[in-house]
Chain A
Amino acid sequence: GENVEQHPSTLSVQEGDSAVIKCTYSDSASNYFPWYKQELGKRPQLIIDIRSNVGEKKDQRIAVTLNKTAKHFSLHITETQPEDSAVYFCAASKSGGSNYKLTFGKGTLLTVNP
Chain B
Amino acid sequence: DGGITQSPKYLFRKEGQNVTLSCEQNLNHDAMYWYRQDPGQGLRLIYYSQIVNDFQKGDIAEGYSVSREKKESFPLTVTSAQKNPTAFYLCASNQGYNEQFFGPGTRLTVL
Contacts and interface: CB of A to CB of B under 8 A. Distances in A.
Interface of A: 1, 6, 9, 32, 34, 42-46, 49, 89, 95, 98-107
Contacts of B100: 34, 46, 102
A98 B50 contact: yes
Given A42-B104, A43-B102, A101 B33 contact: yes
15 contacts: A1-B59, A9-B40, A34-B100, A43-B90, A43-B103, A43-B104, A43-B105, A44-B102, A100-B96, A101-B33, A102-B100, A104-B43, A104-B44, A106-B40, A107-B40
A78 B111 CA distance: 44
Contacts of B58: 101
A93 B43 CA distance: 14
B97 A99 contact: no
A100 B31 contact: yes
A107 B88 CA distance: 15
Given A34-B100, A43-B104, A104-B42, 11 more contacts: A1-B59, A43-B90, A44-B90, A89-B43, A98-B50, A98-B51, A99-B50, A100-B50, A100-B94, A101-B33, A103-B45
A48 to B, nearest CB: 10
Nearest to B95: A100
A9 B44 CA distance: 17
Which 6 residue pairs spanning A and B have beta carbons closest together?
A106-B42, A43-B102, A104-B43, A98-B50, A104-B42, A95-B97
Nearest to B6: A43
B17 interface: no
Interface string B81-108: 0000000001000101101101111000
A49 to B, nearest CB: 7
A105 B105 CA distance: 19
A107 B42 contact: yes
Nearest to B35: A104
Contacts of B105: 43
